[in-house]
Amino acid sequence: MKEDVKGKKFLVGYFNGYIMRDDRTMMQQFNEPERIFDHFEIHQMNIDKSIMVLSIIDKLPPSWKDFKYSLKHKKEDLSLEELLFLFD
């Protein structure tokens, strides 16, 4: 039980600390948050899909500031798949 709690804390900490950089492609960097969210599901840490998408948008590098702003102000929610398509 204690190991599971430690694992969950590690996952949350790892995700919170994850940042995207300008020196790697978005596709390379998009895979890491997706992998972390898969582990959230394994540990039964339910998280709303729209929160996942917005969290990834918040992690975009500073050079993507205008794009990030436009995504955050869309009227409709994006799915992870739609967000991935924008990076492709």
Q: State the pLDDT at residue 66.
A: 92
| Model confidence at 1: pLDDT above 60 | no
Nearest to 5 by CA among 16, 18, 13: 13
Split into its structural domains, the chain has a count of 1
What is the reported pTM? 0.78
Element (H, E) at 69: helix 65-72
DSSP string, 15-44: HHH----TTS-HHHHHHHHHHHHHHHHHTT
Domain limits at 79? 2-87
The model's pLDDT over 25-67, given as tens digits with 9 standing for 90+, comes to 888 888 888 888 888 888 888 888 888 888 889 988 889 889 8
pLDDT on residue 48: 87
